[in-house]
Amino acid sequence: MEGFDALRVGIYGGTFAPIHNGHVASAKAFMEQMKLDYLFIIPTGTPPHKQMDHSDDPLFRLKMCELAFADTDGVIISDCEIKRGGKSYTYDTLVEFSRPDTRLFFMCGTDMVLTFDKWYRFEDIIKLCYPVYVRRENDPIMTKRIVDKITEYYNKYGVMFRRIVTEPTEISSTQIRKRVAEGKDISGLVPPAVAEFIKQNGLYLAEDEK
Ligand code: ATP
């Protein structure tokens, strides 16, 4: 149809336990550089038998995502994977978001790029979206591994990964949970409202502090 522009929609999924400034910076760069109309942040579901602890409640992870993007236009936090329950598959989420009038962009960090071809229905995933990656680290060895891997994807499957160009923020959720358990400060690593939420709800404390 003449003059018709497809809606550009981004999908950024993860455990987000908790969401941190690396996620937030990447999400904002993703929106800008891929010129997204909307970006869906989608925390994964957690199978009930894996919720070992108060801190593992998926609704906490969802709420922290809402707090992190409260003032960012165009970002929508979706509970579709949490509601679906069981193990979350990116394939199922992309099918759910696919529409004829929409171009889906799916972003992941460099660690995920390396294992992408092992994901459930990988060859269908790459038909449903434009894959995008963002660097997590300033490491030339990792950079070479990523370039080799995306070249392999291109040669084998004809799929081209787009790259988000941004200064990497070397933060992980594991590092944050560890710092909280050790009683260390996490300001500067997560948005202030997320730090407050973690404190108020006693998340990620060491065993003897619960
Ligand atoms: P954990 O330490 O618990 O494994 P994580 O920090 O890797 O968590 P996830 O929720 O597993 O965070 O990641 C969700 C998505 O965000 C993945 O695609 C991951 O590669 C990406 N990601 C995580 N941290 C960063 C970061 N610092 N910069 C860019 N992308 C990131």
Per residue in 160-210, pLDDT (tens digit) is 999 999 999 999 999 999 999 999 999 999 999 999 999 999 999 987 676
**How many Å lie between the centroid of ligand 1 and the Cα of residue 181?**
19
Homologous superfamily of domain range 7-170? HUPs (3.40.50.620)
Tell whether ligand 1 has an atom less than 6 A from the beta carbon of residue 14. Answer: yes
User: Mean pLDDT, to the nearest integer, of 123-134?
Assistant: 97
Instruction: Locate the ligand 1 atom nearest the alpha carbon of residue 19 and give its number.
Output: 10
Q: What is the arithmetic mean of pLDDT over 73-89?
A: 94
Answer whether 26 contacts ligand 1 (Cβ < 6 A): yes
Calculate how far, in angstroms, residue 23's C-alpha sits from the geometric centre of ligand 1: 7
Q: What is the pLDDT of residue 46?
A: 79
Distance 92 CA to ligand 1 centre (A): 20
Residue 48 predicted with pLDDT over 80: no
Q: Is 36 in the pocket of ligand 1 (CB under 6 A)?
A: no
**Nearest atom (ligand 1) to Cα of 15:** 10
**Residue environment code for 165-197, b if the CB has 16+ CB neighbours within 10 A, otherwise e:** eeebbebebeebbeebeeeeebeebbbeebbeb
Closest ligand 1 atom to 135 CA: 29
Task: Work out the pLDDT band at 50, boundaries 50, 70, 90.
Answer: low
